[in-house]
Amino acid sequence: GTAPALLLQLEVELDDGTSVVVVSDGSFKAAAGPLLQAQHYDGETYDARRERPGWDTAQADEAGWTPCVTGLDKLPPKARPSGAAGEWWMNPSSGDLNANLDINASPAPRVRRIERLTPISCTKPAGGDPIFDLGQNMVGWVHLKIPTGTAAGSTFTIRHAEVLNPDGTLYTANLRRARCTDTYVAKGEAQEVFEPRFTFKGFRYVEVAAQGPDGQVLAGWAPTPDQIEGVVVHSAMEPTGSFECSDGLINQLQHNIIWGQKGNFIDVPTDCPQRDERLGWTGDAQVFCRTAAFNFDVAGFFAKWLVDLNDAQAPQGMYPMVAPDVLAKGQGDGGPGWADAGVIVPWTMYLCYGDKRVLQQHYDAMAKYVDWLPTADVDKRHCFGDWLHHDAHTPVDLIATAFAAHSAELMSRIAGVLERKRDRTHFAALSRRFKKDFQTKYVTPAGRVLGDTQTAYVLALAFDLLPQELRKAAADRLVFDVEHGRYTNTWRNRNGHLSTGFLGVKDLTFVLSAAGRDDVAFRLLLAEDYPSWLFPVKNGATTIWERWDGWTPDNGFQSPGMNSFNHYAYGAIGQWLYQHVAGIEVDESQPGYLHSLIAPHLPPRDSQAAQRIAWVKASLQTSYGQLVSHWAVESDTVTLQVTIPANTTATVTLPCGSTEAVRETGRSLAQAEGVRSVKTDDGTVQCEVGSGVYQFTFPRP
């Protein structure tokens, strides 16, 4: 809209027990202030000369202030705030809100200033303005100290960018229509500081231009790093997880995953924080939510977002592509892998935190969505496909059928948790129906899956859509594609690289590991050339890129229309690092880590991965306390130190074939305190342990 509008009801409880209610009515007055523009895409313009000291006190001078217009019906049609409905506008006569407006307190942590970054360098491109490098792609804004003695009317223009052009100037083409520019006009006082309040940016580099009142370059303008700070802003989630190992590149990858999450968890899980988008994309959220729950406490964050998602559900049952739904307006289908966030995210939050309420609150909406799936035409259903894959198109109808089977299977489990036996049977049958459709339409008797892409095999194996006798053939075909390639119109030589997009990336390494091919999974993890997780790391990335080829030495920047350097989807590899490499997993039958599964996986002996990853330490702050898995290899002896929180238990699985070869703090397992139910299974030793600290040693397999 073109007219600012306010709907307000302030309730003040006084010391004597009475209350005062202040509502937005005709008694309000308005006047122009120093804030001339405030928009999160374009930035903020603040003219300090227009400040009104004391305007927010009881002694304010009201001269020049004008009464506010009340009621949307009194505004010209073109000036009415877009999206506002008259039935919930404030009634000036009573101050009551219409009952149709359902306002609830948000369970999410508030967005706050979390930390501050100081520049690591300052450069000045030829003929340009000074550019500060904060050393980290961050989200928030700049705190700028205005030089002492600056004349009133001097203007400071602050521009932001994630990366630089080859000539050292800001690369802003990927911002699309977002200006990402703040402007401050000085008032001429001794000490002035500018920090915007109603905008945020995604950036690492900051350009500051200064002009005097005459419009010319400010005389003597030579900024120093102590005049600039980057104020990091995100939802104030408590850090819960840590992962580190002996390989510095993997540690930087984990760093990038963390910062990608911080920069995109700003009240909603945005796709990216810099361009003219910043929307709560459902597909990105469902891919990353499990990794997110390792790094931070996201229970409240997703509790709030799931309400946004349910609010946007279409009457037929479809979930949208973004929530809050600013695109389809409650009528659109987000499509396979995106709409399924409505089921996948609540289930994941239940597993991680053990709170049934998230399933109870959203059960009806989830059931409505899954019951809608059989009515959807997979050939006509909107689908983003395996978004931003690397030259490997997976048929969209295959993706739709795979995710329909997966969501129906999850709904069967959810109904079981909530003891809805009839629903459990219903959704299990629905899942089997989709599974049969998948096998009939997309799987050959030899175990080939239509599309013959990595993602096609990953979905088929991860969602358990194949007959048992064909799983090995499908896994072998997946490995062949990774190690060699496949024919399309021409030969695609993968040469040990991935090709998955958003929908295949999370489960790729899990599927390989489950097939007994940890060697291939670790090789993918440690690949340093494009496309890989470490290629951006090797090229200076401090967050996760949107595309595998956001920038390459041969081609430079990818298309600016879709090229964010802070996107968290591919950071879903963090889940495999925590769960598989470190071996920290939740027991679905006792969620929230009441019972944990500790099963670390070492890189195959004598492999390059074994040389690079000699130790791993991961921890997770659960509701019961800190859970730790720390393994190290020295002289062919493996030491695993495990910490199990109070009032919980765990199953520890060691990659060792003999119970006699295992020691716990120097004692045999039979004599070790707190260790029970010892057995061997498929080349491993398993035992049950209670809370406490344990140190297992055994020969490297």
- Residue that the structure tokens 């996760």 belong to: 544
- Residue that the structure tokens 């020295």 belong to: 634
By C-alpha distance, which of 520, 413, 507 is closest to 463? Answer: 507
Measured CA to CA, the distance from residue 158 to residue 182 in angstroms comes to: 5
* Active site (annotated) includes residue 546: yes
By C-alpha distance, which of 247, 303, 288, 297 is closest to 626? Answer: 297
DSSP 3-state percent helix, strand, coil across the chain (nearest 5): 30, 25, 45
φ, ψ of residue 122 to 5 degrees: the values are: -140, 125
Element (H, E) at 396: helix 396-417
φ, ψ of residue 210 to 5 degrees: the values are: -130, 130
- Residue 472 corresponds to which amino acid? K
Count of CA atoms in the C-beta half-sphere (13 A) of 5: 22
Measured CA to CA, the distance from residue 63 to residue 13 in angstroms comes to: 30
CB 340 within 8 A of CB 406: yes
Beta strands 649-654; 595-598: pairing state: parallel
Q: Among the options 44, 229, 546, 664, which is catalytic?
A: 546
Task: Specify the 3-state DSSP secondary structure of 431.
Answer: helix
Q: Among the options 207, 229, 277, 664, which is catalytic?
A: 277
- Residue 620 corresponds to which amino acid? L
- Residue that the structure tokens 């303008």 belong to: 221
CB 186 within 8 A of CB 156: yes
Measured CA to CA, the distance from residue 52 to residue 29 in angstroms comes to: 14
* Active site (annotated) includes residue 229: no
Q: How many residues does the chain have?
A: 701
CB count in 10 Å sphere of residue 191: 7
- Residue that the structure tokens 């004598």 belong to: 606
| DSSP string for 135-149 | EEEEEEEEEEEEPTT
Distance set, CA 365 to CA 181, 244, 306, 317, 343 (Å): 41, 39, 10, 7, 9
Its sign, for the CA torsion 328, 331, 335, 341, is positive
CB 571 within 8 A of CB 578: no
* Separation of CA 588 from chain center: 23
Hey, which residues are catalytic here?
277, 546
